Structure 1
């Protein structure tokens, strides 16, 4: 998969078009589409990598994508339907007790409402 195809796939996963991506990153319209036939500057490709939370090496095909590092929305942490605390949250590599999970959810929920 070439650079343009990878970016197109990442954009689709975020439900945005290539044009919308270019607008968000202040890149001229049609620039990313041309990357299937030309090489971009390192500065512009870094902007794209940062936007998608992937490495430049991934975009260039030098490494595999292990995971996309998405920011964590604290509101999601208090919603059990969005986060599996047993799988995603630990302290010092150890699972949290039910009491600690409940206390953290209450604290986060109260702080988010303020």
Structure 2
């Protein structure tokens, strides 16, 4: 049986970030996610992790295999929200991430012309 922790680990690996990174970004206590191997998290903490990973809580709970069932199909929704980016398995520094986002916003604006 796949646990909540297993789902978090799986999606974190796909996004190229560590469990500790997700834990910190979600504002949880030190190593909280590791404790979910054997216990069930509070709903608000699970939502924080889902928000960081950009997946639904239903996905983390194993109720669905769709990571973002309610997400819009336009490919640009949530574009300006905080996103995680990685290259070669390592998180991209915030200053580089901002440069990449600026370029992506530029490309998006050019499409609209």
Q: TM-score range by the shorter chain?
A: 0.5 to 0.7
Higher RCO (Cα < 8 Å, 6 or more apart) = 2
Once the 2 structures are TM-superposed, how far is the Cα of residue 45 of structure 1 from its aligned partner?
0.1
Q: Could you state the TM-score of these two structures normalised by the residue count of structure 2?
A: 0.60
In structure 1, list runs of 5 or more residues that go unmatched: 80-102, 108-114
RMSD across aligned C-alpha pairs, in angstroms? 2.8
Counterpart residue number, 1:42 = 43
Q: 2:111 aligns with which of 75, 82, 105?
A: 105
Change in CA separation of 1:10 and 1:78 when aligned onto 2, cut-off 3 Å: same
Equivalenced residues, count: 84
Q: 1:75 aligns with which of 92, 104, 107?
A: 104
Once the 2 structures are TM-superposed, how far is the Cα of residue 59 of structure 1 from its aligned partner?
0.7
After TM superposition, which residue ranges in structure 1, 4 or more long, deviate above 2 angstroms?
A: 66-74, 76-79, 103-107
Counterpart residue number, 2:17 = 16
Q: Could you state the TM-score of these two structures normalised by the residue count of structure 1?
A: 0.60
Change in CA separation of 1:22 and 1:75 when aligned onto 2, cut-off 3 Å: same
Q: Deviations over 1:35-70 (max 9, x none)?
A: 010010000001111122211111111112155857
